[in-house]
Structure 1
Amino acid sequence: MTTDTSLYALIGGEPTIRALTRRFYDLMDALPEAAACRAVHPASLAGSEEKLFDYLTGWLGGPPVYVQKNGPPMLRARHLHAPIGPEEIEGWLICFRQAWAETVRHPGVTEAVMPRVEALARHMHNRA
């Protein structure tokens, strides 16, 4: 018997990541603080939600579905078309933090993941 101790398994796997990404984009549509971030997304968020789900699945130690579908993430390069400054980053982080708090109930994982998420979000900065 093997024990999966990946972050993916610890938070509940696919159902939790699906709930997280769904809530994240619901918040992006609803929160005024996320308006700048929402503005750089397409009218329909379905494709963005699916890509974030795929990415987080592999990033947290689950199956590498994003890489299988799209190749290496190269997130910053994939987002260069969108103007991402402090307002977009903070809006994204507000949505992510709230969605995570509402869907992930494992404090140890939160402590491990949130600094990495915040660093990744800030790395996406591509305009003054």
Structure 2
Amino acid sequence: MQDAGHKGTIFEHIGGAEVIDRLVDLFYERMDTLAEAKDIRAIHAADLGPTKDVLKRYLCEWTGGPKLYSPEKGHPRLRQRHLHVAIGEAERDAWLVCMRGALEEVISDAEARAGLYENMAKLADWMRNQPGNPHDARGQAT
């Protein structure tokens, strides 16, 4: 992901892997503690360690950092990988509450934070697989 306002990638601009690690840790901390995230937390394993590691590697690569996700996992195919989980508007919104809070705490640059959130919100909306999703089974707009 290129950083529109600066040279280089958003990964570099926000502070690299250290910031991604903190972002993911705070994201899951919110999932563990916020009442509105109770249902999406229940979807996850008790031990979030492996899940955190995967998200950290994915976000590093997604933001333009080192390719830590695809060499092991291949193409993300995020929607396909999450089809076993019912993701509707409530789950999307709870995920975004956790991510917005983590972004606000970790990313000091307001423009970078807003850009990341906007892209994550689009991705979270695309991940919905329950009635009301504007995408058909192929991920194409209907």
Is TM-score (shorter-chain normalized) higher than 0.5? Answer: yes
Mapped partners of 2:64, 2:112: distance in 1: 12
Q: Which residue of 1 aligns with 2:122?
A: 119
Cα deviations by residue, 1:74-94 (Å, 9 ceiling, x for unpaired): 000000011111111111000
Cα deviations by residue, 1:2-45 (Å, 9 ceiling, x for unpaired): x9621001000011000000010011010001112112111111
Mapped partners of 2:93, 2:17: distance in 1: 26
Mapped partners of 2:113, 2:94: distance in 1: 19
Q: Kindly indicate which of the two structures has a greater share of residues assigned to helix.
A: 1
Alignment match of 1:69 (pick from 69, 72, 79): 72
The sequence identity of aligned pairs, in percent, is 37
- Asked if 1 retains the 8 angstrom alpha-carbon contact of 2:92 and 2:124, the reply is yes
Mapped partners of 1:56, 1:43: distance in 2: 22
Q: Work out which structure has the larger RCO, using CA pairs closer than 8 Å and 6 or more positions apart in sequence.
A: 1
Structure 2 gap ranges (5+): 1-5, 132-142
Runs of 4+ in 1 over 6 A off after TM superposition: none
Q: Which residue of 2 aligns with 1:101?
A: 104
Structure 1 gap ranges (5+): none
Mapped partners of 1:100, 1:110: distance in 2: 6
| TM-score (ref. length: structure 1) | 0.93
Mapped partners of 1:45, 1:4: distance in 2: 34
Mapped partners of 2:100, 2:73: distance in 1: 26
Mapped partners of 2:18, 2:119: distance in 1: 22
1:24-39 pair list within 5 angstroms: 24-39=27-42
- Asked if 2 retains the 8 angstrom alpha-carbon contact of 1:40 and 1:83, the reply is no
- Asked if 2 retains the 8 angstrom alpha-carbon contact of 1:57 and 1:64, the reply is yes
Mapped partners of 1:18, 1:54: distance in 2: 9
Judging changes above 3 Å, is the alpha-carbon distance between structure 1 residues 65 and 103 closer, same or farther for their aligned structure 2 residues? same
Q: Which residue of 2 aligns with 1:41?
A: 44
1:104, distance to aligned residue in structure 2 (A): 0.8
